[in-house]
Chains A and B, each alone.
Chain A
């Protein structure tokens, strides 16, 4: 993985974390006591902060740090969680997204450092947010400030004198992985090791006492460097537990410190200790040790100075607070850990790899069909059995491979909570979003391509469908509207319903508008449903003025086209004043389907098996009728069924003999049924969908093509489109093949 890939991975990680943060925030809006969600928000900020650091995205680190700190206060009960605070946190989430976007774009443009100047507007926006959170804007301990402290040299200048350092390593140092050699080597990189005396604290007279794994070494080092005390102490920071470290300043300096300390009043010693730490004379650790000693002394000579006792009390108090803090933190960490473990049942796989696997499985399906054909032709019974076994395995592999790409639709639908929430605020509406069937699984590639159309439909429902509270109340409805999204499986398809209890569609207005646009003629007789479907026609928008939300230049025709590109269909029900329901029916996957192979004239066609209801022999006596506009009808057990003769549709054969036996395949799409008249039924077939080339992409009624085991090509029929072509248009094949 190179740095660019790492950045890309970071952006993806951030996107996921922000999504879960958003989900958690929305959950908190419903239930302010939801501790799990609270942790989730904290965790998202916390993790982003941690990773942004390595990329040097300091602004991200600072911002997320502040939010994280606030979340920590909320978690520990120091700050109450309120709805306005959640609203601000949602904006913080968005701001984080923008920051990460900013830096990822900056790094694309070659600003590899990434830590470059933050856009002024972004910074101000961030500061404003933090002010609203009531957090100090100054970054507490940013990466930047930490790393520059040392270099800036704002502390007492240290002359190039010799420091004296003594190191007494504890016996466990080696066992703890501490190698004094490493520390000295590193120290050597900061200055000059003028002299090192290495001593073995062992009694030569007692050879048996030596344990080679214990450390008996101590060092005295004369060190010459321009660096400050904190840096020198920092060299040994990891050895602190295993080493007694004493660092003596170059003499010229020490005198200064002594003077300083001598001049202070006793009361100020604690403060002065802090000061010395700041000035670079004492390390924090030394001060702590000094305070600890003070406490110990106070214990011995009890009536001693009051300050000492106070220091001691503070330390004790700190010690007594700790257990409960630890306990609380351990609990929350445990919750995070459990969650993590749940997540760990998953493996991340590059989507392209899966795509490749599915392509290969597709080839395998085709090859296996080819073997089947050859074996049948050769008439080898033994081989036939083996082929049956292979077929079974191939279909299992296919199903499993496709299953890999299945993800719960919830992942896609949950984002709409946010869409709805924001829209409500903007439009002053009250809308309750109810999602059911979120666990329904669907091919990830289908889901991704459904996001835009779904967003549009949902925005439409919010914007045009559900009325404002006063309008609703005037109409005798509850002030709050409901938007239902329901997903479920239905015979090899997934159905997504978007239903609102809003104003519904006014079919009269749609009709009027369609006539005005010349989409229908005034004399055309259209059913209520056909009129409603007109909103899917290009260039028809129901609202005079497109709003900020739905009016993004994307019409319902684009929604329909997006869905149809996925071999799906969309239906519409609406009742004026009661509501609108849009039903989207999608295939589960884009790659492979169970098909039903039929012959028509010279050609072979595949009908998606999931849409086949039944096959009946075409009975000449049932005398198919013909409607005025050229549509065929047949009486099937008393039901009038429109049908299409494929040979006519595709002009696949002119000289048809009357005696030719025909079959009727009854198919369904949505709530409709129709018949397809074919010459022969060739059976079920696993069908790998090959997209048609550019030349044929406008070919209506055909979803794709597949290669049969014999090497022949069969077209895959799109039943819904066929019906539309036959109804709305005219059964002329020429019309179907026009390339716009």
Chain B
């Protein structure tokens, strides 16, 4: 059974490259453009990992983490934030909210796959 990953980023191009890489590795991917979109697209379905950007319109990544941690279906789901080395305070905020994994932008798909595999294998 393929593992499902929710990929949240407001850059359509980044999102789709990541989705292509993940699908190529055997994951199912749900794509969302921001936190609000992510919550709408999830609608209770099972995901094994959430990958989310931090700065996004409508609902940023940190709020998304907080929302996910409130929901029974997602409170234990691992969350990987896409952060940048220039915003350590964001990382702290995300950690406090419950995100425990990080990937620093810019990254290439192999790095992402490697990081993802540590948390969830396809």
Which residues in A have some Cβ–Cβ distance to B below 8 Å?
1-3, 5-10, 13, 46-47, 49-56, 61, 65, 68, 72, 141, 143, 146-147, 174-179, 182-183, 185-186, 189, 213, 235-239, 241-242, 326, 329-330, 333, 336-337, 340-341, 343-344, 348
Mark B83-122 against chain A: 1 for CB-CB distance below 8 A, else 0. Answer: 0111111100001001011100111111110010111110
Question: How many A-B residue contacts, CB cutoff 8 Å?
Answer: 146
User: Bound complex: CA of A336 vs CA of B56, how far in Å?
Assistant: 10
User: Bound complex: CA of A576 vs CA of B21, how far in Å?
Assistant: 64
Q: Once the chains bind, are B118 and A182 in contact (CB under 8 Å)?
A: yes
**Which residues of the other chain, A, contact B95 by a CB distance below 8 angstroms?**
241
**Which residues of the other chain, A, contact B73 by a CB distance below 8 angstroms?**
none
Selected from A51, A146, A177, A235, the residue in CB contact (under 8 A) with B77 is: A177
**Which residues of the other chain, B, contact A56 by a CB distance below 8 angstroms?**
108-109
Q: Once the chains bind, are A53 and B106 in contact (CB under 8 Å)?
A: yes
**Which residues of the other chain, A, contact B119 by a CB distance below 8 angstroms?**
177-179, 182, 238
User: Bound complex: CA of A216 vs CA of B2, how far in Å?
Assistant: 28
Q: List residues of B (67-92) whose CB comes within 8 Å of A's CBs.
A: 75-80, 82, 84-90
The 8 closest A-B pairs by CB, nearest first: A53-B106, A177-B78, A344-B57, A50-B105, A10-B13, A9-B13, A238-B101, A1-B16
Q: Is the interface of A mostly helix, strand, loop or mixed?
A: helix
Tell me whether A182 and B86 are in contact in the complex, defined as CB-CB below 8 angstroms, given that A50-B14, A54-B14, A54-B106 are known contacts: no
Q: Once the chains bind, are B106 and A182 in contact (CB under 8 Å)?
A: no
Selected from B100, B111, B112, the residue in CB contact (under 8 A) with A178 is: B100
Q: Once the chains bind, are B106 and A147 in contact (CB under 8 Å)?
A: no
Could you write out 9 A-B pairs with CB less than 8 Å apart? Answer: A1-B12, A1-B20, A54-B18, A54-B106, A68-B86, A143-B106, A177-B49, A177-B79, A189-B117
Q: Once the chains bind, are B57 and A343 in contact (CB under 8 Å)?
A: yes
Q: B60 in the interface, Cβ–Cβ < 8 Å? A: yes
Q: Once the chains bind, are A6 and B105 in contact (CB under 8 Å)?
A: no
Q: Once the chains bind, are B20 and A51 in contact (CB under 8 Å)?
A: no
Q: B66 in the interface, Cβ–Cβ < 8 Å? A: no
Give min CB distance, B83 to chain A, whole Å: 10
Give min CB distance, A64 to chain B, whole Å: 9
Q: Once the chains bind, are A177 and B100 in contact (CB under 8 Å)?
A: yes
User: Bound complex: CA of A236 vs CA of B89, how far in Å?
Assistant: 22
User: Bound complex: CA of A571 vs CA of B36, how far in Å?
Assistant: 50
Q: Once the chains bind, are A3 and B17 in contact (CB under 8 Å)?
A: yes
**Which residues of the other chain, A, contact B77 by a CB distance below 8 angstroms?**
177
Q: Once the chains bind, are B13 and A7 in contact (CB under 8 Å)?
A: yes
Q: Once the chains bind, are B86 and A72 in contact (CB under 8 Å)?
A: yes
Interface centre among A50, A72, A146, A341 (most CB of B within 10 A): A50
Tell me whether A49 and B17 are in contact in the complex, defined as CB-CB below 8 angstroms, given that A177-B76, A182-B119, A344-B57 are known contacts: no
Interface centre among A46, A54, A72, A241 (most CB of B within 10 A): A54
Give min CB distance, B117 to chain A, whole Å: 5
Q: Once the chains bind, are B12 and A143 in contact (CB under 8 Å)?
A: no
User: Bound complex: CA of A237 vs CA of B115, how far in Å?
Assistant: 9
**Which residues of the other chain, A, contact B121 by a CB distance below 8 angstroms?**
182, 185-186
Nearest chain A residue, comparing its CB with the CB of B112: A54
Nearest chain A residue, comparing its CB with the CB of B53: A50
> Can you name 17 extra interface pairs (CB under 8 A) apart from A5-B16, A146-B111?
A3-B20, A47-B11, A49-B106, A50-B84, A51-B14, A52-B106, A54-B13, A54-B18, A68-B86, A72-B86, A147-B111, A175-B75, A177-B77, A177-B79, A179-B120, A182-B118, A344-B58
Q: Once the chains bind, are A6 and B16 in contact (CB under 8 Å)?
A: yes
**Which residues of the other chain, A, contact B11 by a CB distance below 8 angstroms?**
10, 13, 47, 50-51
**Which residues of the other chain, A, contact B88 by a CB distance below 8 angstroms?**
326, 329
Nearest chain A residue, comparing its CB with the CB of B18: A54
**Which residues of the other chain, B, contact A241 by a CB distance below 8 angstroms?**
95, 100
Q: List residues of B (1-36) whose CB comes within 8 Å of A's CBs.
A: 11-14, 16-21, 34
Nearest chain A residue, comparing its CB with the CB of B92: A326
Give min CB distance, A271 to chain B, whole Å: 24
Give min CB distance, B86 to chain A, whole Å: 6
**Which residues of the other chain, A, contact B16 by a CB distance below 8 angstroms?**
1-3, 5-6, 9
Give min CB distance, B10 to chain A, whole Å: 8
Q: Once the chains bind, are B117 and A61 in contact (CB under 8 Å)?
A: no
Nearest chain B residue, comparing its CB with the CB of A53: B106
**Which residues of the other chain, B, contact A10 by a CB distance below 8 angstroms?**
11, 13-14
Give min CB distance, A50 to chain B, whole Å: 4
